[in-house]
Amino acid sequence: MCTLSQGRDMNIDRIYIENKITGRKVVELNNIFIPESSIVGVKSDSFEDIVLFFSSIAKMTDLYPDFNFDVKIKSIYNEILYFPEYPYTQISGLTSTVYGEIALPLIERCINETNIGKKVNQFLSLYELEDFKYRNPYSLSTGELQKLLLCSQDICEPEIWLLLYPLSGLDRKNKAKIEQIFQNRKENKIIFIFDQNIEKEEFIDFILDLKKGTLSNINLHHRNKKDFELLTDYLNIKKIKENKDSELLIELQNINFSYSEKSLLKNVSLVTKEAELILITGPNGCGKTTLAKIIAGMLNPKRGKIYKNKKTDIIYIPPDPTNLFLKTKVKDEIEFILDWRKRKDKYNLNELLNIFNLKEDLDKHIYELSLEKRKYLSIFEAVLLDKNLIILDEPTSFVTENFRKFLLLHMRNSLQLGKSFIIITHDFYLIRELSL
């Protein structure tokens, strides 16, 4: 049941969500008043709970027949922006340019063509996307695509924003830009945001804790200037954990790479040995992912030399690892890997499935899993395949705090076993934690 009544602010008289099958109480909020022109950080240990909460506000409860919803909200809102957990899944595929992707929602609303052009150009400038105007959306980096999809929704002037991981994948400059847009856009609106470390962000007005069922005012400034010093405005390779006496895994010497006539990598060198941890940072579009794919053997450099130990076994795990999987069901994928590598007797599968938070998902189709669960599965496969060099591209983007804790513990344990990691990230909290 969902009832709405008049009011510019939002008064949540009640949101109660319960799992029909298990009886688990997912969310219970009572008498929560949120003033208009607010940015609300939503806090929860469970990604599923966040999705169900956002769906209750967006009036999308019919998508979840296994849950009971009791929703009573006093507010007026017509346009709702529901931003997905991972932007590549939201490209329309109906246009071949960034300009077209931004214009499409206005065209669907039958807005005058002249007005569309003016408004699209205005928003291209606002989101600093002018240089990508005629680029194919699929060619953009994750951070550039984040801005594109926010722009294509913002242009419709929504009154309620429900944003899942809107800051993940953004470099320092773009993150600051989007935060400023949130500040400028919040007038007469309410913006809900779920993202990593959201309670530490200075632009947040309130924190809504779904577990406690409370809304609290927040005006603290948590950031340390030294955090930003960990990030750079250029491609930077930093060895966090070095093991000089160990065996070489791979060495790159003076690697050069370009797309068409645009030079992306110039004279890049890197050495990785056993039990080492390397961080690759830099702004969106500077070539981090391209370098990772060269290391993994997925791309060939235009110039330069690569020396690889015969024992080196590399896996590259992208921000969305869905294309790594060869089967449709989780249990079939795991069985396939075990049969292929003939390692059934080596592992205590039940113990591993518990560690990787996958035991309850064996009968699910992989496309049913959240992006976080697909990341769990991809790292699980790296263990089963006994890879000794694991490249993780934005591993903490679009995940909860529980996954972050798991990842840090897993990497520390694996480094002690001689495994090496190359991490691509914009997450200065992760960089700080790994640097300790």
pLDDT digits (tens, 9 = 90+) for 335-360: 999 888 776 555 678 899 999 999 99
Mean per-residue pLDDT over the chain, rounded: 88
Same domain? For 143 and 255 the reply is no
Which range of 13-27, 78-92, 225-239 scores highest in mean pLDDT? It is: 13-27
Is the pLDDT confidence value at 1 over 50?
no
- In a domain? residue 238: no
Out of 124-133, 140-149, 242-251, 417-426, which region has the weakest mean confidence (pLDDT)? 140-149
State the CATH number of the domain containing residue 70: 3.40.50.300
Write down the pLDDT at residue 6.
41
Write down the pLDDT at residue 153.
87
Is the pLDDT confidence value at 231 over 80?
no
pLDDT tens digits, residue range 150-180?
Answer: 999 899 888 899 999 898 888 888 888 999 9
Domain count of the chain? 2
pLDDT tens digits, residue range 107-157?
Answer: 888 777 778 999 999 999 999 999 999 999 988 888 888 899 899 989 988
- In a domain? residue 278: yes
Same domain? For 138 and 30 the reply is yes
Determine what percent of the chain is predicted with pLDDT higher than 70: 91
Write down the pLDDT at residue 224.
52
- How would you write the chain as a 3-class SS string? CEEEECCCCEEEEEEEEEECCCCCEEEEEEEEEECCCEEEEEECCCHHHHHHHHHHHCCCHHHCCCEEEEEEEECCCCCEEEECCCHHHHCCCCCCCHHHHHHHHHHHCCCCHHHHHHHHHHHHHHCCCHHHCCCCHHHCCHHHHHHHHHHHHHCCCCCEEEEECCCCCCCHHHHHHHHHHHHHHCCCCEEEEECCCHHHCCCCCEEEECCCCEEEECCCCCCCHHHHHCCCCCCEEEEEECCCCCCEEEEEEEEEEEECCEEEEEEEEEEEECCCEEEEECCCCCCHHHHHHHHCCCCCCCEEEEEECCCCCEEEECCCHHHHCCCCEHHHHHHHHHHHHCCCCCCCHHHHHHHCCCHHHCCCEHHHCCHHHHHHHHHHHHHHCCCCEEEEECCCCCCCHHHHHHHHHHHHHHHHCCCEEEEECCCHHHHHHHHC
- pLDDT band (50, 70, 90) for residue 5: very low
- pLDDT band (50, 70, 90) for residue 7: very low
pLDDT tens digits, residue range 18-40?
Answer: 999 999 999 999 999 998 889 99
Out of 200-204, 250-254, 255-259, 320-324, which region has the weakest mean confidence (pLDDT)? 200-204
- In a domain? residue 6: no
Write down the pLDDT at residue 79.
76
Is the pLDDT confidence value at 84 over 80?
no
- In a domain? residue 241: no
Write down the pLDDT at residue 4.
36
Domain carrying residue 345 = 248-435
- In a domain? residue 385: yes
- In a domain? residue 231: no
Same domain? For 53 and 201 the reply is yes
Same domain? For 216 and 312 the reply is no
